[in-house]
Amino acid sequence: MRAVDWDKGTVRLIDQRRLPWELVTAEYRDHESLAQAVSDMVVRGAPAIGVTAGYGMALAGLRSQANSLDTLRADLRQALDVLEHARPTAVNLAWALQRQWSVAADPTWKTPDDVRAALIREAHAMADEDIAINRRMGLHGAELISDGDVILHHCNTGALAAVDYGTALGVIRTAHEQGKRLHVLVDETRPRLQGARLTAWELKNLGIPFDIIADSAAGHLMRTGRVDLVLVGADRIAANGDVANKIGTYTIAVLARECGVPFYSVAPCSTIDLALSDGDQIPIEQRSAEEVLTVLGHPTAPEGATALNPAFDVTPSRYLTAVVTEVGLVYPPLARNLRRAMSGGIE
């Protein structure tokens, strides 16, 4: 089952807020409700958000009553603005929207229906490409995993975070499918518990051995030699190789460096943002304090307590051993080699 799917003018999303207790699919028929689904984290994960946005533009085209190209494009520009503000950190969202806008703005179209059909085709292409890209990343990344390795993983980067298969978890899945024996230490990933809820659910279904650990246990396990490598995803990678990812990633990267544990980010090239020179320019989403002050809706703090809740942090490029992309493993110097990866390959 795809985490993001389309059926005759309806976008279907696995509601990730309901896992692991129940597998529920939510349906959306307009771009406004789909943008809200992104904001509410019905769907999450940079690649999945990007494809969802692409389908959102397709929905906007179908729902528009425009009978001229100019009017349709005006409606699509408004839809783009709504979708673009759903979540700010993952660059895949803006990437997908601009890709769809390029389709809509193509001067060769003769009628609004030409544009509507093209937007649907392009969204389907993005979805299919995502799966193919993830499988290629899985093959490249699996080269880093040896038989018997213990892998530390943060947040969720599996099929749920993409259309299917996954990024960092896709690497783990590929190594498992190759017959390598491995074990995954799953950071619970407070405050929304994407590791304990989603990654653990995926690993269980795949038959891959794992243990859930408290986020704060990662340093102890690395220092005592119980971790062979760290695999994480990315929501945006700046031109110099700084990586924005789920909050807590920076802490793990620093500890991994201290303990001599290789640290890899796995992300498609669509996550690389060459327009930003470094990670300080990446917008960091601030989410509701309630997520920190509660666990699964149950209060855990004194009444009246306040909280800060940045959803992401930035790991400086110096802490990365390499970035795994669909075109191969990108090693330092990342500022040079990420550009090479984006321009057609790695030497």
Distance CA 225, CA 20 (A): 31
Residue 347 has pLDDT above 60, yes or no: no
pLDDT, average across residues 118-127: 97
CA atoms within 13 A on the CB side of 67: 0
H helix intervals, the chain: 31-39, 46-63, 69-84, 91-104, 112-142, 168-177, 194, 200-206, 218-223, 249-259, 290-293, 334-342
Indicate whether 340 pLDDT > 80. Answer: yes
What per-residue confidence (pLDDT) applies to 344? Answer: 73
Q: What percent of the chain has pLDDT over 70?
A: 99
Which pLDDT band holds residue 77 (cuts at 50, 70, 90)? very high
Q: How confident is the model at residue 163 (pLDDT cuts 50, 70, 90)?
A: very high
Distances (CA, A) of 341 to 22, 186, 311, 328: 40, 30, 28, 8
pLDDT band of residue 54 (cuts 50, 70, 90) is very high
Band of residue 180 on the pLDDT scale cut at 50, 70, 90: very high
142 has a pLDDT exceeding 70:
yes
Question: Residue 235 catalytic?
Answer: yes
Burial 115-148 (b: 16+ CB within 10 A, else e): bbebbbebbeebbebbbebbbbbbbbbbebbeee
CATH for the stretch 143-342: 3.40.50.10470
Q: What is the pLDDT of residue 90?
A: 75
Instruction: Tell me the pLDDT tens digit for each residue of 238-286.
Output: 999 999 999 999 999 999 999 999 999 999 999 999 999 999 999 999 9
Average pLDDT for residues 313-327, to the nearest whole number? 98
Q: Is the pLDDT of residue 308 over 80?
A: yes
- DSSP string across 49-65: HHHHHHHHHHHHHHH--
Out of 75, 187, 235, 273, pick the active-site residue. Answer: 235
Average pLDDT, the chain: 95
Percent of the chain with pLDDT over 90: 94
Same fold across 4-134 and 143-342: no
Query: By CB neighbour count within 10 A (0-12 exposed, 13-18 middle, 19+ buried), where does 18 fall?
Result: middle
Please tell me the predicted confidence (pLDDT) of residue 296. 82
CATH class name, domain 4-134: mainly alpha
User: Domain residue spans in the chain?
Assistant: 4-134, 143-342
Pick from 7, 45, 27: which is nearest to 312 by CA? 45
DSSP bridge pairs for 178: none
Average pLDDT on 336-344 reads 91
